[in-house]
Structure 1
Amino acid sequence: MQAIRSPLRRVALQARLPVVRPRVARPFSTAPEAKSNTTLYLGIAAAVLAGGGYWAYTSSSDTAREVGTVAKSATQAAKAATNFVPSRADYQKVYNRIAETLDEAGEYDDGSYGPVLVRLAWHSSGTYDKETGTGGSNYATMRFEPEALHGANNGLNVARGIMEKIKQEFPWISYGDLWTLGGVAAIQEMQGPKIPWRPGRIDGFAKDATPDGRLPDATQGQDHLRKIFYRMGFNDQEIVALSGAHALGRCHTDRSGFEGPWTFSPTTFTHDYFKLLFDEKWVWRKWSGPKQLADKKTGTLMMLPTDYVLIQDKSFKKYAKAYADNQDLFFKDFSAAFARLLELGVPTAQFVSSEPWELKTLDEQKK
């Protein structure tokens, strides 16, 4: 590793490249950040190529992580300098690799990485604050501490590790595009609706990381849900639609403290989450963990306090009932809300397409 680092340092000194140092705090601004990132990436890309090595970092400090981000983006910048412009077909290849990875989970959870990839896409986007314009999927700041260690992100190191392997195969894609595309692929491959998506997110730095408390707290009620989702710009109908993502996956005591799946088919995207809310009798589970509900009939399913309020709050309930009665309506509304969630915090000018794409599933490509 020292042999790799030394040539890079010499080249950097000879080229008088800028040294990455902690920056003085300044107002949040996306456009200047994108410009300065590009200049820095191109400079360091030249040094990396000239030095014959790739900067690898091992320090856990924010500065080292920022250096690592710049270095990893060097490959992306170098390809751009040689007129490499990813096409829709290139993004379809990334989608396909993600889709193939879903079934490589083995004994992990219910045999699929799909639910945890949806959660990664959701949590990396749901930090957006419309008042300050901060957060969202643009900078993929969950790569940095302390955001990576926020309680709501427990266990997402698994998903980030999966995505890191794919990033090595396709180094030109940004983390924000990769993570959100992972959520799209997971939903679509688990028999969910098509999710319109388009690339254009850029990689940020540790200074762009969001404060804790921006993601939903499952122990809370309807007032908390509205505070979290209204901050992102969503309304009551969209809150309920997005909650339908709980059709997938399960909770873990070593992560959230809660335990169990929401549905009997946690790797298939359906409207069963809403049907079960109305069709089952839910009772408070008697155990040493946090407050959660269990279905009285089997005791194997669970609902969180934030789930249960969807049938207690009058406004939420009418949408939840509509989705319980009509899966097509749920799919349509979820697709629209989830697609918007994945674009929060990304300036429109950054997107490579004026209209989102609908990428094909693996099955569709076989026809």
Structure 2
Amino acid sequence: PFPLFTPPYISSSFSPECACAQLVYIAWLSYLHFIALSDERNQRKMTKCYPTVSEEYQNAVQKAKRKLRGLIAEKNCAPLMLRLAWHSAGTFDVKTKTGGPFGTMKQPAELAHAANNGLDIAVRLLEPIKEQFPILSYADFYQLAGVVAVEITGGPEVPFHPGREDKPHPPPEGRLPNATEGADHLRQVFSHQMGLSDQDIVALSGGHTLGRCHKERSGFEGPWTTNPLIFDNSYFKELLTGEKDGLLQLPTDKVLLSDPVFRPLVDKYAAVHNSFLLTSFLSITTNQDFDTITN
């Protein structure tokens, strides 16, 4: 029911490395101060990373974005859409260049992964809008939904770079983080598998500021913050104040406090004033192997 689709490119395809960097962008943008890059070599790397799509494709992105704003506002489903975008991207493997946000989440095989329980709801909610924009790849569309989810809940306007191809085969199960594990597991998934840093691990964990766990899906129950529909740094503040009735802290959350490298980063992000959220940016460049993320 979901045909394989490749959007009309003018230049090279979107690499897995850069598609995953888009999701890192979403998490980082709201916490860190803008750093202008003056290194022309790094700027060229960033420019080279993104393909060029047609004007028709760009127009479809903007129209779809407006439709997504309406859907997410009406259904209060921003956390679900951000989870869809992250779970799509978080399967990337830097060594094999497999996985990542390439539209495979629509396939029953990937939706059946235990970590993706409940994401079939997101796919069903999005499908009526996607049908209105056949020119868009599912890969781009699902990531665009994550971008809109951040914006509509008070986060920054995230630069969106289209051009991801839909791929035919989903990644193997087991690449996403296990909430019951510790620091070694987080580094295995984020650092060794995805090629990210300790700082990325903590920043991406801040995405838990949106949404809640559902026992029937994950075995855990409850929100991380008192307002799970606002994208801010409350996750880090709540983490530092300790466990409270009605609020959730997963084992992978608690380890951010006990690990000597993670803890100072939690302190740093908890101290960022909310007024900075809409104007704070992190500029990220990657090399072709996604081995380096440069501030």
Give the TM interval when normalised to the shorter protein. Answer: 0.7 to 0.9
Letter matched to residue 187 of structure 1:
V
Change (3 A) 1:303 1:345: farther
Measured in 1, the distance between the counterparts of 2:160 and 2:82 equals 14
Shift of 1:141: 1.2
**Residue aligning to 1:197:** 160
**Residue aligning to 2:256:** 310
Task: Please say if residues 117 and 159 of structure 1, whose CA atoms lie closer than 8 Å, have aligned partners that are also in contact.
Answer: yes
Shift of 1:336: 4.4
Change (3 A) 1:142 1:335: farther
Letter matched to residue 172 of structure 2:
P
Instruction: Say which SS state the counterpart of residue 255 (structure 1) adopts.
Output: helix
Measured in 2, the distance between the counterparts of 1:304 and 1:331 equals 25
Measured in 2, the distance between the counterparts of 1:334 and 1:251 equals 28
Letter matched to residue 204 of structure 2:
L
- The 10-residue stretch of structure 1 (162-171 or 317-326) with the greater mean CA deviation from structure 2: 162-171
Task: Please say if residues 98 and 182 of structure 1, whose CA atoms lie closer than 8 Å, have aligned partners that are also in contact.
Answer: yes
Instruction: Say which SS state the counterpart of residue 204 (structure 2) adopts.
Output: helix
1:162 and 2:125 are equivalent in the alignment? yes
Letter matched to residue 181 of structure 1:
L
Shift of 1:329: 10
Change (3 A) 1:164 1:232: same
Instruction: Say which SS state the counterpart of residue 169 (structure 1) adopts.
Output: coil
Measured in 1, the distance between the counterparts of 2:238 and 2:95 equals 36
Find 1:185's aligned residue among 130, 133, 148.
148
Find 2:72's aligned residue among 98, 102, 127.
102
Letter matched to residue 97 of structure 1:
K
Task: Please say if residues 117 and 186 of structure 1, whose CA atoms lie closer than 8 Å, have aligned partners that are also in contact.
Answer: yes
**Residue aligning to 2:63:** 93
Unmatched runs of 5 consecutive residues or more in structure 2: 9-53, 291-295
Letter matched to residue 252 of structure 1:
H
Find 1:323's aligned residue among 269, 284, 287.
269
TM-score, with length taken from structure 1: 0.61
Measured in 2, the distance between the counterparts of 1:133 and 1:334 equals 31
Counterparts of 1:276-287 in structure 2 under 5 Å?
Answer: 276-279=238-241, 281-282=242-243
Letter matched to residue 116 of structure 1:
L
Aligned length: 244
Measured in 2, the distance between the counterparts of 1:270 and 1:340 equals 24
Find 1:174's aligned residue among 137, 142, 154.
137
Task: Please say if residues 202 and 256 of structure 2, whose CA atoms lie closer than 8 Å, have aligned partners that are also in contact.
Answer: yes
TM-score, with length taken from structure 2: 0.76
Instruction: Say which SS state the counterpart of residue 215 (structure 2) adopts.
Output: coil
Measured in 1, the distance between the counterparts of 2:143 and 2:280 equals 15
Query: Root-mean-square deviation (CA), in Å?
Result: 2.8
Change (3 A) 1:95 1:217: same
Find 1:118's aligned residue among 64, 77, 82.
82
**Residue aligning to 1:237:** 199
Change (3 A) 1:181 1:168: same
Measured in 2, the distance between the counterparts of 1:333 and 1:320 equals 20
Letter matched to residue 189 of structure 1:
I
Find 1:216's aligned residue among 174, 177, 183.
177
Shift of 1:89: 3.5
Instruction: Say which SS state the counterpart of residue 216 (structure 2) adopts.
Output: coil
Task: Please say if residues 60 and 136 of structure 2, whose CA atoms lie closer than 8 Å, have aligned partners that are also in contact.
Answer: no
Instruction: Say which SS state the counterpart of residue 69 (structure 1) adopts.
Output: coil
Measured in 1, the distance between the counterparts of 2:143 and 2:219 equals 26
**Residue aligning to 2:228:** 266
1:134 and 2:98 are equivalent in the alignment? yes
Measured in 2, the distance between the counterparts of 1:329 and 1:149 equals 40
Change (3 A) 1:333 1:146: farther
Q: Which protein, 1 or 2, shows the higher relative CO under an 8 Å CA cutoff with sep ≥ 6?
A: 2
Task: Please say if residues 242 and 334 of structure 1, whose CA atoms lie closer than 8 Å, have aligned partners that are also in contact.
Answer: no
Higher Cα radius of gyration: 1
Measured in 2, the distance between the counterparts of 1:145 and 1:168 equals 18
Shift of 1:257: 1.1
Unmatched runs of 5 consecutive residues or more in structure 1: 1-56, 58-67, 78-83, 106-111, 283-294, 347-367
